[in-house]
Amino acid sequence: EDKVVQSPLSLVVHEGDTVTLNCSYEVTNFRSLLWYKQEKKAPTFLFMLTSSGIEKKSGRLSSILDKKELSSILNITATQTGDSAIYLCAGGNNDMRFGAGTRLTVKP
C-alpha cells in the first residue's frame, strides 16, 4: 500500500532557528513529490520535486529530493512566527498521497 510518512509530527522552535522537515515515501508509479504549507485554510503550494539531488529554493525555504532513499527534506532557515503551520508533503502521480504533516510552531 502506498504511504507517505513525515517526521517529526510536531516541532517547536524559536525565531531564528533553522528547521529540517522530513518526508519519506513508498509510492508506486512515482512521478513527483510536492510540499505544501497549510495554515488555517487550504494548503498552499511550495515546491514540486521530480529530479533527485536538485535543490529548489524560495527565500528562506529550500527542498531536495533523494530518489535513492525515497525521501525529501524541507529546510527553513531563520524561522519566523509566520512560518508556524502544518507542512504537508505528497508523493505520487495523479493520485497524490499525502503525509500526516509536520506541525511547526515558531515562538517569538
Partner 1 sequence: NAGVMQNPRHLVRRRGQEARLRCSPMKGHSHVYWYRQLPEEGLKFMVYLQKENIIDESGMPKERFSAEFPKEGPSILRIQQVVRGDSAAYFCASSPPGLLDEQYFGPGTRLTVT
**In whole angstroms, what is the distance from residue 44 CA to residue 37 CA?**
5
2-41 residues in contact with partner 1 (CB under 8 A) are 31-32, 34, 36, 41
Taking the least distance from each CB to partner 1, the nearer of 79 and 92 is 92
Taking the least distance from each CB to partner 1, the nearer of 69 and 95 is 95
Interaction mask 47-66, partner 1, x per CB under 8 A: -x-x----------------
CB 9 within 8 A of CB 103: yes
List residues near partner 1 by CB under 8 A: 31-32, 34, 36, 41-45, 48, 50, 88, 90, 92, 94-101
